[in-house]
Structures are given as C-alpha cells and as structure tokens.
Amino acid sequence: MTIRDLLTDARARLSASPSASLDAQVLLAEVLGVPRAYLLAHPDVTPSADQVERFRGWVARAAAGEPVAYIIGRRAFYDREFMVTPAVLIPRPETELLLEQALDWAKPRPGGRAVDVGTGSGALAVTLAALAPQLDVVAVDISPAALEVARANAERHGVADRVTFVQGDLLMPVLNQRFDLVMANLPYIAADEVPTLAVSRYEPILALDGGADGLDLVRRLIAQIPLVCTPGALILLEIGAGQGAAALDIAQTLKPQHAALLTDYAALDRIITITL
C-alpha cells in the first residue's frame, strides 16, 4: 500500500476523532521517521510490510481512544516537544496562556525564584527555565513517576542544572523557601465528572480529579501561598471553564493587590492571576 492508501484508510478508521487526518499523518510520519511534509510530497511511496503493520497497530490503538501523544511518546508544547507517558497529563495548548503570562512577568526581571506546582511532564517549568534563564526554577509533583518524566524533559532541553525537582504534596515540601512566581495547573475536574470523560480512560486520575467542585486543590494551594511567597509575588493558576468566579472568590482570601480572570482563545475561563 502507498502512503496515500494508508492515510485514506487511517482517516476512515479514525473518523470519530475531530483531528483524524492530522492523527493519521502524525502516526505515519513517526513510523516512517520522516516529517509530515514528506507524506504530502511523496504520496506514491510504498512503505515496507513491517512499517505498514506497525502503523496499522498504532491506528487501531488511536481508534480505540488512546491519545496519539502516548502512542508516539511525545507532545508539542509552546516552542518545543516533551516526552509524555501515561504517568503525566498530556500538555494542552490552553496551558500555553499561563506560560505566556509567566514569560511576560519574567522578561524585565534580572532574576527571581519560580515554582511550578504539580509539574507533571515539566512543560511549564522546563520551558520557563529555557526561555527565562535568569530565574531559579523549582518543580514539585506528588507523583514520583511524573517527576521522572519531568527530569527527562529537563535533560532533553538542556536545563537539568537549572530546575530543582521536589517530590511532595503542593507546596508542602518547599515551605522553607520563598518564591516570586507560583505557577500551577492542578487537577480541576469535579470528582463525579471524571469517570464520565474519555480522558479518564488513559490519563492519570491523579492529574484530573479536583474534588467535589474541582477546586479542592486550588483552595489548599491558596492557603499555603502566604507561607512561601515574597511581597508582590505573582500567582498563576489554570482553572476549568466556568470556574472563574469561584476561583476569584478563593483568591480574594489572600487580600491581594490585584486578582483577575483571563479567558482562553475560545473565550472560556482559563487563568487566574493574583498579585500579592
């Protein structure tokens, strides 16, 4: 079968996905070890029998709902790619909005200390360390398996010497430290909704379940903020769509200088910014 034939067949098998064509191209390009552009430029090339078998196996996994990122083992985030495994949440484009806020904050500063709470794959901490090298970055996660992935990504992007990884629950393991920036993309899905979502079949429940209303971890984190933050510190929290008003109410318990809700490109509640 040619590349054209394989992609046509895969698109049909992946028709339930809103990105069926892209998914098919990403999987086949990975199997062949070529850029996606090659597929479009060489539709009549005939892959080997082993490559066809491997591709069809991957398509079957994707058709069953397994995320393409887990199948190929990586996901693009902002300006780089990150290794991902089922131990970590797959980075989402929406989280890039939080990173952009952090980079805007860091740009005029000659230094400072930042902590990424619930780092997962390390996408936020590693990218911030790479693009704002003047900062001292700490990454915390309760999952040892997630920290292994994050450390590997720090090595991959050349910042392993500038990100300190700490295992523990929220800010508890760093209560003896002080930070100028806190970033957190914590679980924010309500507990009773988690089992009803397709994402819960493959991605770690630990990274999804936010308690009764999805904001339990946000409340706990906010309660710890005064113990670790310097005066004027910036806190950036990713939240779920529709959680903006409730999250702002929680933020007000800090009596901040400023607190605001940012929406994403789909105009959905996404980021809470708090200046102490």
Residue 122 — left, alpha, or beta (φ > 0 → left; ψ -120 to 50 → alpha)?
left
Q: What is the percent of the chain with per-residue pLDDT over 70, rounded to a whole number?
A: 100
The residue out of 25, 46, 72 marking a domain boundary is 72
78 within a domain of the structure (yes/no): no
Residues 58 and 162 in one domain: no
Give the domain CATH number at 48: 1.10.8.10
State the Cα–Cα distance between residues 116 and 171, nearest whole angstrom: 9
Residues 258 and 175 in one domain: yes
Residues 184 and 220 in one domain: yes
Arithmetic mean of pLDDT, 209-221: 96
Residues 268 and 138 in one domain: yes
Residues 134 and 205 in one domain: yes
Residue 179 is part of which domain span? 85-275
State the Cα–Cα distance between residues 275 and 131, nearest whole angstrom: 22
Residues 44 and 101 in one domain: no
Arithmetic mean of pLDDT, 126-140: 98
How many CB atoms are closer than 10 A to CB 179?
A: 23
How many CB atoms are closer than 10 A to CB 85?
A: 17
Burial class (CB in 10 A: 0-12, 13-18, 19+), 72: middle
Angle at Cα 142 formed by Cα 141 and Cα 144, nearest 5°?
85
Domains: count for the chain: 2
Q: Where are the beta strands (DSSP E) in the chain?
A: 74-77, 80-83, 112-117, 135-141, 163-167, 179-184, 229-238, 258-263, 269-275
79 within a domain of the structure (yes/no): no
What average pLDDT does the structure give for the chain? Answer: 96
Rounded to two decimals, what is the model's pTM? Answer: 0.93
Residues 178 and 109 in one domain: yes
* pLDDT given for residue 198 in this prediction: 87
Residues 10 and 105 in one domain: no
63 within a domain of the structure (yes/no): yes
77 within a domain of the structure (yes/no): no
Residues 137 and 58 in one domain: no
Residues 130 and 29 in one domain: no
Identify the band that residue 179 occupies on the pLDDT scale cut at 50, 70 and 90: very high
